[in-house]
Structure 1
Amino acid sequence: MIRVLIADDEPMIRAGIRAVLASDPDLAVVAEAADGHRAVDLVQRHRPEVAVLDIRMPGLGGIEAAAEIRRTAPATGVVMLTTFGEDDYILRALSGGAAGFLIKSGEPEELIAGIRAVADGAAYLSPRVAARVVAHLAAGGAGAAVGRRAAARERTDALTARERDVLALVGSGLSNGRIARRLHLAEGTVKAHVSSILARLGVDNRAAAAVVAHEAGIALPPAEAQ
């Protein structure tokens, strides 16, 4: 059973998320909060596998709450909920340790997939979030976009062929275990590859590595990564 905390200042959003998660017998909502401070307190009390946080909440916002949760309850994975137009917040949340990013208006199946991926230790970027982040990073114009894509490809070209294979699946939201099964490797080998990838790309977490994979154009669509 994957225990989930929901934090959003809009009761109807919380109710909608709760209803979606109720459709999956492996997911259980153990607590709800309307602000970041309460979310952090409830994570300390219930220790859920995943905390789903609105990226903007009154008082302590989702980004700050995510950082506090990662500091005080590192076993709890954080999924951020965002809307279009919040690209700057997403980039800040990436550096704060959030592992999943979903659009509020996305499909219910995507919410469940994201929670499952994060609970399994993976990073999950909604395809629309990934597209928004890559577009935002390239917002300096066509030349900047080409430059960032070229830089990302240069970074990934410096990886070994196997590391690129692993990174492509990291970018698709697969956990180490699922990558190991897909590539017919030992899970410990995949873990070593991921650690090497993070170091060689100069990023701190899987979500940031996933962004590089999307920028370089090597992340597989979720349907192809299964």
Structure 2
Amino acid sequence: MVLADDEAMIRAGIKAILATDPEISVVAEASDGREAIALAQDHQPDVVLMDIRMPVMDGLTATAEIKQQVPKTSVLVLTTFSEDAYVARALGDGASGFILKSGDPRELLTGVHAASAGASYLSAKVAQRIVAELNRRSGTRTRSAAARKRVSALTEREQQVLALVGEGLSNAEIGRRLYVVEGTVKSYVSAIFTALGVRNRVQAAIVAYEAGLVTDGDE
């Protein structure tokens, strides 16, 4: 994976956490968004862990560029509670998940593994903040009602799959949970994206949260 953060001490701390997992390897480090894009192109990693506020080019702009140029690479966004609006914007840029800088180190490892497997990762605290920010913009009742209406168009099985996407499970994990093959799950996920009008798993997960399919204890 590629680690992008403009603070050397933060990068060192994150690397120390990642080093506790033998399945995770940091192949390169970037101190700004433009460098992160170049490293993603060179190494084509499974995951880029991206800070938001960086010099030269911010992390959100870099995320959008990476998803356009290296679409198979997943981007996890590092965020703080003061950056809710930026996180909401990142939903449309193709980010695969959001990691809270002050969160439990285990969330970082879980998020990296989820993104590497092609799944989304939203810790409960981050998801609550994102939904709260979106609701602030357009009204809680309006967004919740709209989400429930969109979800009602799905079949019962599709709603089950959407709820599991909201929990951050990969297609393989959903298949094991529902006792179906992974190819069937992929078909369900594709149909869900089309029906909801979303571009990625994180956007679908947000709809699941807003519709009440995922609760705080389902992280």
TM-score (norm 2): 0.96
Task: State whether residues 80 and 102 of structure 1, in contact with CA within 8 Å, keep that contact through their aligned partners in structure 2.
Answer: yes
Determine if contact 1:159/1:197 at 8 Å carries over to the other structure: yes
CA deviations over 1:153-202 (Å, ceiling 9, x no partner): 12112110000000000001011111001000111111011011111111
Corresponding residue SS for 2:82 = coil
Q: Which residue of 2 aligns with 1:161?
A: 156
- The 2-side partners of 1:221 and 1:185 are apart by 26
Confirm or deny that 1:102 pairs with 2:107. no
| Unaligned segments of structure 2, at least 5 residues | none
Aligned residue for 2:83?
Answer: 86
State how far apart, in whole Å, the 1-side matches of 2:190 and 2:202 are: 13
SS of 2:53 mapped into structure 1: coil
Q: Which amino acid aligns with 1:24?
A: D
Question: Given the alignment, which residue of 207, 218, 226 partners 2:213?
Answer: 218
Residues 1:54 and 2:51 aligned together: yes
Contact 2:88 2:133 in 1 (8 A): no
SS at match of 2:27: strand
Unaligned runs of 5+ in 1: none
Deviation digits for residues 127-164 of structure 1, max 9, x if unmatched?
Answer: 111100111111158xx212221221121121100000
Contact 1:31–1:42 (CA<8 Å) still a contact in 2?
Answer: yes
Give structure 1 regions of 4+ aligned residues with deviation exceeding 6 angstroms. none
TM-score normalised per structure 1: 0.93
